[in-house]
A and B are shown apart, each in its own frame.
Chain A
Amino acid sequence: MNKCTLHDRRVLALTSIGLAITFVACGSHRLEAAPVDFNRDVRPILSNNCFQCHGPGASNRKAGLRLDIESGAKADMGEYRAVAPGRPNQSELISRITHSDPDERMPPADSGKALSSEEIAVLKRWIAEGAGWSRHWAYEPPKKHPIPEVKNSDWPLNWIDPFLLAKLESADLFPSPDADRVTLLRRLSFDLTGLPPTWEDVSSFLADEKPDAYEKRVDRLLASPAYGERMAMYWLDLVRFADTVGYHGDQDHSISPYRDWVIDAFNRNMRLDQFTRDQLAGDLLPDSSIDQKIASGYNRLLQTSHEGGVQPKEYLAIYAADRVRNISAVWMGATMGCCQCHDHKFDPYTMKDFYSMAAYFADIDEARHLTEGTNTLPTKREPEMKVLSRAERERIDALTSRIATWHADLSPKSPQDAARRPLRKRIRDAQRELETIQKNARLTMITVAIEPRVMRILPRGNWLDESGPIVQPEVPEFLRPLRRATGRANRQDLANWLTDPEHGCGLLTARVFANRFWYLTFGVGIVKVLDDFGGQGEAPVHPELLDNLAIEFVQSGWNIKHMMKLLVMSRAYRQSSVVSDALERVDPYNRLVARQSRFRLSAEMVRDTALAISGLLVRDIGGPSVKPYQPAGYYRHLNFPERRYTAHTDRRQWRRGVYMHWQRQFLHPMLKAFDAPSREECTAQRARSNTPLAVLVLLNDPTFVEAARVFAQNILCQPGSAEFRIDFAFQQAVSRRPDDWERQKLADLLTASREQYRSNTEGAVQLIHIGEAPPATDVEPFELAAWTTVARAILNLNETITRN
């Protein structure tokens, strides 16, 4: 078997993009030995080129022909059969896609689609080989697959590894060597907590030669409160959590307790089924707790409007559609949004499914704001509730019981006034703290059920058209039905169904999430498209592995920490991310996982990392959103009311990015520059761009300049030579010592900056006064300014903001 055939076969498992690249790389070589796999090779071609007119959508189906189901494709149409198994020459499909008359040729020219000769060859071969058919992979329940045999049996560390290795071996590829321990610890720290390791973490890990050294770090990081913050960053993108209403006046709304609940839920390792239930239906659960009510804020996260001209019916229709888009993307990996106006063209979802799903949420009390919404900050979005977080409530309990005890101690049995005085003070202090906590109770939007609104199918999505049939809450017809003994199904039933592996679509949900955990730890999903498991998405590169991960997730009791640990304990996770030229050519997008991935940190992590390195980072958990420095006038286009942003001047200034005020219409320019989404819609995967605007942030945003200066102050606290200090600074930022060349470069920068600032004290004073943190007074301004410059260089390094 020559190399190119190998490439071809391997590449079939990859994306169509990968396919094209390898075709180019291999010149005129064609697919040979490997038998065609329907789901992997054929369905994507049919879906992309044919289903629009010959697919699930009934309304515009042409010639009565369906190619998305086997019975349709192979049906005897009287004069012809589209697909005659084993006989490509007698298959109308082949004759039409190869027709010499452009008017007869499929797909039609005006569709903008065209089949490549490779794609035609695949279809011909598929029919010649018997036109095997299987249901779309995502709708087949996952099966448990045996762990494959591998030649290099020393390599695997857990059961994930043989699945990857077997594929590599069949392609004559090898996994990459293990990453060095520093890189590994940095990777692990970013992936599990979103923060870089401290130099102490690094040193102790390097010194720990016990076999469980790595696992101990994994456990420690999973137990860190920062883990919940890191996971929340991702979750909040999915569910489009933001601090403002999004439409028109983009006023603040009250919802930060929901964010804190998410962080807490991840930290407590709440099961995904409960996590789902509390959010969709926390208000409906028996003896619904405060936390469950806070969680039910999920249903209120969508964009809302009370603009003067809004028509309630229109906006209730917009909200219903928004919810269906979000639920289907987050839990089902489905793009049901298409079905607002017509049956899905590629997947078996129908308009009726869309509005029936919307009907589950028809009981949510939300119409009031359309008429009662106020142009205030925050605006009114009733129903809302004043709440304390779990941590605050626990503190109150603790204080209350302590006060009770102290009161008991004050009993007349100890009459001496001298002994009573400190006790009284303690009680007073505790009471004061209690009051402060109570006073800081926050409003949060919650879900309250009312009499469900009538839900109709809106013809072509038109809310003015009330001729469509009324629908009841139902799950998509082609999936397993939701069973309910009596009465109208509700959100709780839906939540149960979404996470019920036996009677619901729980296994689909499990696959969707297993794939996302993989994305969080490997940088690219086993299924690359994280929110579309439909026909237009992409088949998994390692379907058996994904199946087993999904089953593992369910069997572990929807245990997210268990899954994250499983992934990071694999040998595959620990590989180096350095890519050889050969591997780069064969697998440029790392779909075979013959190495780890390298990518820039997410926006929040870029911020957190700079603050952590500088020593400025404040690790408080939860609370109202915080406001870091932001360019003046950035909100000038906001109105109702006009907006003035006031940055916090206390410790809130240096908190983690996950707590930043998320203004949907004008997201903080720093977050935006590093590809954080506005959270108007579900974002399952952020872009990772590299733009001049992001560079300007790192260079000039006061947050980063201040971080550099405070970092410099810490550097200057280190005794010793400039070289020693440079080493210290480098270690803090990138967890390694600089080499001689790097040290010299930074020393040169230091020398030149020092000279310049020595003759420009005014400039030095200006630089070191950027930011709220007080500048050190025990050092000459020129010296601090020069070191600030060095620190800026270090914070700007690619390595500093890269997870590799």
Chain B
Amino acid sequence: MKPPVSNKLAAEINRRTFLARGGVGLGSLAFTSLLNQGVFASGSRRSPSGLGTLPHHTQKAKRVIFLCMAGGPSHLETFDYKPKLAAMDGQPMPDSFTKGQPIAQLQGQTLKCQGPLTQFKKYGQSGQVISDFLPWHAKMADDICVIRSMVTDQINHDPAHTFMNTGTAISGRPSMGSWVTYGLGSETEDLPGFVVLTSVGGRNPQPIASRQWSSGFLPSRFQGVEFSANGDPVHYVRNPAGVDSQQQRRLVDTVQQLDAHRNQAVRNREIATRIAAYEMAFRMQTSVPELMDVSNEPRHILDMYGAQPGDGSYASNCLLARRLVERGVRFVHLYHRGWDHHGGLVQYMNICCPLTDQPTWALIQDLKQRGMLDDTLVIWGGEFGRTPMSQVKGGKGRDHHIKGFSMWMAGGGVKGGISYGATDDLGYYAVENVVHIRDLHATMLHLLGLDHTRFTVPFQGLDMGLTGVEKARVVRDILA
């Protein structure tokens, strides 16, 4: 006998709790939506926890898979071919480019041009230019939209990730996955709406802080939950040793009943939320292991990704990403740590690319064959690019670079087979159709049906959104 509790109702009430919390309130928009919706009404079957009036406009994408190549892959060896740079290989980098610009590890050193360390060819009907390091990307040239004119503000890994994820380098702001889940809710009640998966392989894996999936000033239930391939997939999701599922169920039932009983006397309006939280926690104890167990995937699917069940690889994570979005998870964020190629760039590209190239292709194909690519937005890229100048640190490499680099988007509402923007002849500055991280955020939100100027929450006196208080533009040219 379980107390009849609607999760949706609980979510509503929980949101109301959030209203009551000091320091943070909902934006006027969000708040009106609450009122319009009727805080206690549990009728509507839309997303169980999204804000009622969202999306603002028709969604092209319903969910996001963000493939973060942590460390910062070189645009000059992936998508941005620079013959002029090849011609200037070994020559001094013209001062006109670098004067007064921030520099990371090359501070105080003589700056020399480093020509591309691989070949490029055109692929697909679109003739998309892709390097030899990425043969599987070549096969999906017509699926992806490469943006060659990205810029960011932060030149070191940790702040650059924070900037990429939250729109600012100052700690304490929500990650984009939290924003999206907060606004749109999730389509699953058995799993968190925002899930993070990580893998390693390549050069000197840079640390990734859990700040990167923090919900910041949004309610903590919108934080990213990291699923791990080793140990418990989610912290404490396993019953204590010696406790089976039936016993755990009995315990949870007893707690729920005692809480409900006591509540007749103390009239705690949060009790429904709490009872619902016990229900979801209990369900997660089954649904999470079920999700992580890919043994029921057919051989050909495993082979397509190159995934060995339970190996914690990027390939396995791509497969899990598909399983997660299939189950209604809103935002899946993959990190592959290994792209910080200050030295030995060729050597390490030959590790990172084989680990990620085929699985990324497989993910796109798999989504496509399930009819999910049309409304799933996939984004690929690092926290920054790498310098046209060489850095020698155990073989040729490149330093961090923020003034121009490449990312790509595919699926939900984005034109495939195009490239957008350009860097200069040496691949230093983005010079044509520059796309700032904030523009990327605005575009992503737009595809999800969210207007970045209106999707805000009051924080420290500001209407704070993912794009911060600065101007940001939706990159309309790449929309399908």
Contacts and interface: CB of A to CB of B under 8 A. Distances in A.
B391 to A, nearest CB: 11
A95 interface: no
A669 B236 CA distance: 9
Given A687-B220, A702-B240, A798-B262, A311 B107 contact: yes
A741 to B, nearest CB: 6
Interface stretch (A78-86, A472-480, A689-697): A689-697
Interface in B265-288: 265-271, 273-274, 277-278, 280-281, 284-285
A741 B265 CA distance: 13
A196 interface: no
A752 B274 CA distance: 25
Contacts of A785: 242
A112 B454 contact: yes
A112 B453 contact: yes
A28 to B, nearest CB: 15
A584 B20 CA distance: 12
Contacts of B26: 17
A226 B141 CA distance: 64
B105 interface: yes
Contacts of B18: 687
A104 to B, nearest CB: 20
Nearest to B171: A680
Nearest to A525: B22
Nearest to A679: B171
A678 B337 contact: no
B394 to A, nearest CB: 14
A536 B93 CA distance: 49
Nearest to B342: A308
Given A307-B156, A578-B267, A690-B14, A17 B277 contact: no
Interface in B88-121: 100-105, 107
Given A536-B460, A687-B219, A309 B251 contact: no
A691 B278 CA distance: 8
A705 interface: yes
Report the contact-size class of chain A (Cβ under 8 Å from the partner): 35 or more
Contacts of A110: 453
B170 A337 contact: yes
B447 interface: no
Contacts of B280: 692, 695
Contacts of B241: 763, 766-767, 769-770
A607 interface: no
Tell which of A309, A535, A680 has the most Cβ of chain B within 10 Å: A309
Interface of A is mostly: loop
Interface in A600-639: 631-634, 636-639
Nearest to B190: A692
Tell which of A579, A688, A765 has the most Cβ of chain B within 10 Å: A688
Contacts of A769: 241
Interface string A384-409: 00000000000000000000000000
Nearest to A344: B461
A796 B236 CA distance: 15
B225 interface: yes
Contacts of A796: 251, 255
Interface in B237-278: 237-244, 246-248, 250-252, 254-255, 257-259, 261-263, 265-271, 273-274, 277-278
A512 to B, nearest CB: 14
Interface string B157-195: 111000000000011100000000000000000001000
A728 interface: no
Contacts of A588: 20
B461 A248 contact: no
Given A637-B207, A767-B240, A678 B171 contact: yes
Interface residues of B, number: 100
A749 B254 contact: yes
A309 B156 contact: yes
A765 B241 CA distance: 9
A309 B399 contact: yes
A128 B107 CA distance: 64
Contacts of A338: 460-462
A799 B262 contact: yes
B206 A639 contact: yes
A699 B248 contact: yes
A692 B286 CA distance: 13
A681 B268 contact: no
Contacts of B238: 700
B243 A309 contact: no
B262 A797 contact: yes
Contacts of A56: none
Interface in A329-360: 335, 337-338, 346-347
B277 A694 contact: yes
A687 B21 contact: yes
Contact of B31 (A20, A525, A589, A667): A20
Interface string A732-765: 0000000001100110110011001000101111
Given A695-B277, A764-B242, A346 B461 contact: yes
B463 interface: yes
A307 B225 CA distance: 27
Given A310-B156, A525-B22, A536-B460, A250 B251 contact: no
A506 interface: no
Contacts of A247: 158-159
B316 interface: no
Interface string A766-788: 11111000000000000001000
B225 A309 contact: no
Nearest to A700: B236
A404 B152 CA distance: 67
A695 B235 CA distance: 11
A752 B156 contact: no
Nearest to B271: A798
A564 B33 CA distance: 40
Contacts of B159: 247
Contacts of A742: 258, 261-262
Interface stretch (A134-142, A143-151, A255-263, A526-534): A526-534
B242 A639 contact: no
A514 to B, nearest CB: 16
Interface stretch (B74-82, B208-216, B351-359): B208-216
A15 interface: yes
Given A305-B156, A696-B281, A798-B259, A689 B400 contact: no
A692 B35 contact: no
Contact of B461 (A536, A756, A770): A536
Contacts of B248: 699
Nearest to B10: A690
A24 B207 CA distance: 49
A724 interface: no
B240 A797 contact: no
A678 B211 contact: yes
Interface stretch (B226-234, B289-297, B325-333, B362-370): B226-234
Contact of B258 (A303, A577, A768, A797): A797
Given A15-B25, A691-B221, A793-B258, A763 B243 contact: yes
A712 B384 CA distance: 55
Given A303-B171, A524-B22, A793-B254, A250 B209 contact: yes
Interface in A715-742: 741-742
Given A691-B277, A696-B285, 5 more contacts: A529-B22, A637-B208, A639-B207, A796-B255, A798-B262
13 contacts: A112-B463, A311-B104, A464-B102, A598-B266, A636-B198, A684-B23, A695-B277, A695-B281, A696-B284, A745-B257, A746-B258, A770-B242, A789-B247
- 5 interchain residue pairs of minimum CB distance: A536-B461, A309-B104, A767-B242, A766-B242, A680-B171
Interface of B: 14, 17-26, 28, 31-32, 35, 100-105, 107, 155-159, 170-172, 192, 198, 204-211, 214, 219-221, 225, 228, 230-232, 234-244, 246-248, 250-252, 254-255, 257-259, 261-263, 265-271, 273-274, 277-278, 280-281, 284-285, 337, 399-400, 453-454, 456, 458, 460-463
